[in-house]
Structure 1
Amino acid sequence: MGLFSRFTDIVNANLNSMLDKAEHPEKMIRMIIGEMEETLVEVRSTAAKNIAEQKTLARKVKTTQEGVAHWHDKAEIALNKGREDLAKSALAQKHKCQAELTQLNEENVQLTDLLSAIQEDAQRLQDKLSEAKRRQDALRLRQESAEVRLKVREKAVIHNIDEAMAKFERYQQKIDHLEAQVESYDLTENKDLSTQISDLEQDDNIEAELAEMKKKVVNG
């Protein structure tokens, strides 16, 4: 089922209100434009039929006018020939053509008024359709803008994550440096201890050798 039930619903529709209340404005505007375009096709089709009918009517008017002139001439000829009876018959045909011509002219006036109304309706509908397409363009621009802004935000989030990871890496490197300093102190401390023990062992060797030399001197 369509949004609109008749032509006046479309031209009187408040697009802004409809779109503001719509859950999905972009879908709503597509539906509105679709129905407007279909209605415009129908209006133009009706106009084309009436224009064709008016052309046919114009040919009938011309033929009937010629008939009026034809029977008028025949009446004059009959009267000039002294045939009043034939002149009356010719005038009767002329009046018949005149009556038909009057009816055709009335139909032509009605068709002209109808075509004028259809033209006004088509213009109103075209204006409404143009308004709807402008709103569609505005919605499209809003959507594109929102998508761009979202991408910018997403890139900003990625940048923040990268920055946080970089900070964490620098923090890790700082910890690694501190641990290396501790290990270097431990390594240095271990070397000092080894050196001290070696020195003690060397002192013992010297003392032992000195004691041995003293024995040799005493016994010598």
Structure 2
Amino acid sequence: MALLERVSTLLRANVNDLIDKAEDPEKMLKQLLLDMENQLLQVKTQVAIAIADQHLLEGKRKEHDEAAESWQRKAELAVSKGQDDLARAALDRRLSHQQLSAGFAQQIEDQRVEAELMRSNYNKLQQKLKETEARCELLIAQQRRARAVGKANTARSEVESKSFTQPIDRMRMKVMGSEAENAAARALLDDDLAADSLDDRFRKLEREDKIESLLSDLKSRQTRSA
């Protein structure tokens, strides 16, 4: 997310304002282009990684779907042979793979959204870079002429540069807010851990009931088909 924040900052940048505030506008413009090129390369790399991760997650989900189907067939075979304990174990495995598959499905959707966001930012930054490159020579020429004004422009730049304290103050408040959120999250986590043991016992009971229900249903279907 830090990379996306930097990209957003570059996309919002007003080149004319930066020119007014820079002590060496020509150097600043070159640095701006260099920063944008570096960010563009990083975003492109992250987009590729995000897409690759999405494909990997899809492969994992497919593996668990196939495993769940395999354990279902094994449970059916065990029931047909009258081995209920073996059928229960197979159904338990099937449930596990189904739950993992569902988890991967959610991760795939989250990854897809993230990849689309990165791709959108990449396209915007690429367009912004092209526009900035086209304007740089003109802006540099304009600034060179403006240097003739001398000390008046220098004084103006120094006064306008004080506005940089505002984003610093905003960042400080953001950091303080993040620290408070982290403290609250740790407190909630401590409360959740205290209840985990009891919750696990009830989840185990519910899982056993579900397996018994699945076993009963499987037996009924095989009896009807016999």
TM-score in same-fold range (> 0.5):
yes
Structure 2 stretches lacking a partner, 5+ long = 146-226
TM-score (norm 2): 0.56
Which residue of structure 1 lines up, in the alignment, with residue 51 of structure 2? 51
Gaps of 5+ in 1: 147-220
Aligned partner of 1:11 in structure 2 is 11
- Whether the 8 Å CA contact 2:25–2:140 is kept in 1: the answer is no
Partner of 1:116: 116
Query: Could you tell me which residue of structure 2 aligns to residue 209 of structure 1?
Result: none
Q: Which residue of 1 aligns with 2:30?
A: 30
Kindly report which structure 2 residues correspond to 1:59-208, keeping only aligned pairs within 5 A, or say none: 59-139=59-139
Q: SS of the residue aligned with 2:13?
A: coil
Q: Classify the secondary structure of the residue corresponding to 2:82.
A: coil
How far apart are residue 88 of structure 1 and its match?
Answer: 1.4
Larger Rg: 1
Task: Work out the CA distance in 2 between the residues paired with 1:142 and 1:14.
Answer: 16
- The alpha carbon displacement at 1:141 in A equals 7.5
Secondary structure at the residue paired with 1:6? helix
- List 4+ stretches of structure 1 deviating above 6 A: 140-143
- CA distance, structure 1, for counterparts of residue 142 and residue 15 of structure 2: 17
Partner Cα distance (1:141, 1:79) in 2: 84
Who is 1:40 aligned against? 40
Aligned pair count reads 141
The 1-side partners of 2:55 and 2:116 are apart by 15
